[in-house]
Amino acid sequence: MTQRAKVLSVPAMTWQMRLAGGLLALTAAAFAHAARADGGKVIVSHGISTFGELKYPAGFTHLDYVNPEAPKGGEISQWAPGTFDSMNPYSVKGVPAALSTLFYEGILGGTADEIGASYCLMCETMEYPEDRSWVIFNLRKDVKFSDGSPMTAEDVVFSYNLFREKGIAEFRSVFNDKVQSAEVLDPYRVKFTFTPGTPFRDMPASVGGTPVFSKADYEGKKRDLEDSSLEPFLGTGPYVLQSLKPGQQIIYARNPDYWGATQPLSVGQYNFDRIRVEYFGDDNAAFEAFKSGVYTFRNENSSKQWATGYDFQNLTNGAVIKAELPSGAIASGQAFLFNLRRDTFKDIRVREAIGLMFNFEWSNQTLFYGLYTRINSIWDNTQMAATGPASPEEAALLQPLIDEGLLPASILTDDAVMAPVSNPDKGLDRKNLRAASALLDEAGWEVGVDGMRRNAKGETLKVEFLEDSPSFERVINPYVENLRSLGVDARLTLVDPAQMSQRSDPPAFDFDMIVGNALNGYEPGGEMKQAYASVTANNSTRNRMGMSDPAVDRLTDIVEAAKTRAELDVATRALDRVLRATRFWVPQWYKKSHTVAYYDQYAHPDPLPPYALGELSFWWFDADKAAKLKASGALK
């Protein structure tokens, strides 16, 4: 079936994506120490690592996984679903275009072959004390916006304050109180001082990852970060907007005057002259367009398509390459998410019963061709996934919450909650049906003469699945039928992407269940609060389920404050254990490889880095192969 993965991989990273190990290269350096007037040490470096050593030393020339001799040129094209009406990805208004963060960079960025490393991209060095309570960025003097104007410390502070005042509510709720001040020390030197009492571990990298806009352009054109607009803000990134047809097509062009072309993080990257995105109303139309060469690269997210659809002429004659490429990435956290704000779902027994009725094993065998692995943990495929009963180290974190009455004592002795196992040979698992029936009976939802469950008020137990992708219909419909066998008044409602956004985004949150992702990361920190903290329960696009639990709040604080990798792993396992015990989701599935198809005119490094496919970033165009495709008629 369909995996709700990103249709397009984004090579530029914003602060939200930094912990996912992304595609922008921010390189690390050896540490140098300078004496401070008060006798403490200030670390002067061209990178920072959350834990341990940086991989790349000072003076490195390029990232290990890129081809530094990769040619520039050509076009890569992909598809996106639905429509778009905005080029502003930082507003809740409108539907932003795919890849609309390509124009922007932060002072720091990250690599695709290490975790928790941020390197100077737009700075020469960075300075910070050992406790990381402040950071100074010594900016490069050659950084230019795409119109050729210089970027200075004033632009950095302006952009930070802009996000502080007008950024999405979840960002402001979590981060605004953590920064005490942002100061311009001189035209190419900026200092951020963090609020005393705040865990400082992630703060230098967090502020260093904030996108930088041109202050002069923003003010001169009277722009508004909160408004939808088809004109991008002026940034420093490697691509500019070439053309767009709202809702149909967008083309990004590589800026030939990009300031960072020879910067070590950029060498071997941003190789395509153009990145074209074609929009389609549904996956079937998009796939037919790929078969005929309307676009040239497809990151396949449909198991059925992958197993049965790739038998067209351009594949059999060798014009299209079909490949499974290795991925070491964390599992997606893809799941059916409950809207915990609904009275119906406030009883955990109801949520558990509904979860029992999704038969993943049957779906994987019958619909997915055995291509997927079940998700059990928010941090599946990492050492941070909770397993079995709580370890002594986890128990030390959980016991105080038990003593305060925030958690049951069983959290220590019960195995971490796993997704239910079902019979793969039948769509409806009778054993799970009986278990779910008993749970709903206990919760006061009794079966009436019509077979539907009602509460003491006579209200039926209704569950609406809200979905904007027709490809999910064949997965959700059997789930709906199973729920109806349980006496639940379940149904699937298909809407267009605009309606989906209106109903599932804040402030509406007008849904029962949707397909989404439980936020995770290789080095969880303050961003976890955007998805799981009470403070974001009613304003965050990442906390769509409305998680608001005092025990979870306390554990996110502990995760954020962890000072070593070992402490972080233990704290995250404890958080994972507690979140899974709330049954806020019905976990779905993930793939352990990239399933891609593309016209044979591209090349990529071998091996790929573990944490990114990077087709838009460090793949490149082979002009000779492209000419052969055109000569054969496979491409126009």
DSSP characters over 503-547? HHSTTT---SEEEEE----SS--TTHHHHH-GGGTTT-SS-TT--
Record: fold of 239-329+593-632: D-Maltodextrin-Binding Protein; domain 2 (3.40.190)
User: Which two tokens mark 133?
Assistant: 């309570």
In degrees rounded to 5, what are phi and psi of residue 545? -75, -15
- The highest-level CATH class for domain 334-590 is alpha beta
pLDDT at residue 8 tops 50: no
Q: Is 194 helix (H, G, I), strand (E, B) or coil?
A: strand
| The predicted structure's pLDDT at residue 315 | 96
| The predicted structure's pLDDT at residue 20 | 31
DSSP string across 203-250: HHHHHHTS----HHHHHHTT--TTS--SSPPP--SSEEEEEEETTTEE
pLDDT at residue 27 tops 90: no
Per-domain residue ranges for the chain? 15-68+101-220, 239-329+593-632, 334-590
pLDDT at residue 601 tops 50: yes
pLDDT average, residue stretch 47-70: 95
pLDDT tens readout for residues 347-362? 999 999 999 999 999 9
pLDDT tens readout for residues 74-120? 999 999 998 999 999 999 888 899 999 999 999 999 999 999 999 99
pLDDT at residue 488 tops 60: yes
What kind and span of H or E run contains 400? Answer: helix 392-403
Alpha carbons 190 and 185: distance in angstroms, whole number: 5
pLDDT average, residue stretch 288-306: 95
15-68+101-220: CATH architecture: 3-Layer(aba) Sandwich (3.40)
pLDDT average, residue stretch 466-484: 95
pLDDT average, residue stretch 305-328: 95
Annotate 619-633 with three-state secondary structure: CEECHHHHHHHHHHC
CB 122 within 8 A of CB 151: yes
Topology match between the domains 15-68+101-220 and 239-329+593-632: yes
Q: 508 exposed, middle or buried (CB, 10 Å; 0-12, 13-18, 19+)? A: exposed
Q: What pLDDT band is residue 3 in, cutting at 50, 70 and 90?
A: low
Q: Is 136 helix (H, G, I), strand (E, B) or coil?
A: strand
Q: Is 86 helix (H, G, I), strand (E, B) or coil?
A: strand
CB 290 within 8 A of CB 301: no
Annotate 279-329 with three-state secondary structure: EECCHHHHHHHHHCCCCCEEECCEHHHHHHHCCCHHHHCCCEEEEEEECCC
pLDDT at residue 32 tops 90: no
| The predicted structure's pLDDT at residue 427 | 95
pLDDT average, residue stretch 288-313: 95
- For the full predicted model, state whether its pTM sits above 0.75: yes
**CB neighbours of 204 closer than 8 A, spacing ≥ 6?**
48, 118, 126, 128, 132, 135, 192
> For 212-216, 238-242, 380-384, 468-472, which range has the lowest pLDDT when averaged over its residues?
468-472
Neighbours of 593 (CB within 10 A): 12
| The predicted structure's pLDDT at residue 40 | 66
pLDDT at residue 157 tops 70: yes
Nearest Cα to Cα of residue 9 among 98, 112, 118, 133: 98
pLDDT at residue 30 tops 50: no
pLDDT at residue 15 tops 80: no
User: Which two tokens mark 347?
Assistant: 């009883």
Nearest Cα to Cα of residue 159 among 116, 199, 103, 119: 103
Q: How confident is the prediction for the chain on average, in pLDDT?
A: 92
| The predicted structure's pLDDT at residue 219 | 98
Nearest Cα to Cα of residue 36 among 134, 165, 159, 116: 134
* CA 61 to chain CA mean position, Å: 29
| The predicted structure's pLDDT at residue 7 | 33
Cα dihedral 321, 324, 329, 332 sign: positive
DSSP string across 407-456: S-THHHHSPPP-PPP--TT-SS-HHHHHHHHHHHHHTT-EE-TTS-EE-T
| The predicted structure's pLDDT at residue 2 | 55
Per the listing, tokens 């990442």 go with 542
In degrees rounded to 5, what are phi and psi of residue 397? -85, -35
Q: What pLDDT band is residue 498 in, cutting at 50, 70 and 90?
A: confident
| The predicted structure's pLDDT at residue 168 | 76
pLDDT at residue 331 tops 80: yes
Q: What pLDDT band is residue 172 in, cutting at 50, 70 and 90?
A: confident
Quote the percentage of the chain above a pLDDT of 70.
93
In degrees rounded to 5, what are phi and psi of residue 82? 80, -120
| The predicted structure's pLDDT at residue 11 | 32
pLDDT tens readout for residues 174-204? 678 899 999 999 999 999 999 999 899 999 9
Neighbours of 404 (CB within 10 A): 11
Alpha carbons 355 and 419: distance in angstroms, whole number: 8
What kind and span of H or E run contains 603? Answer: strand 602-603
pLDDT at residue 35 tops 50: no
In degrees rounded to 5, what are phi and psi of residue 491? -155, 160
Angle between helices 565-582 and 550-561 (to 10 degrees): 160
| The predicted structure's pLDDT at residue 9 | 32
| The predicted structure's pLDDT at residue 592 | 85
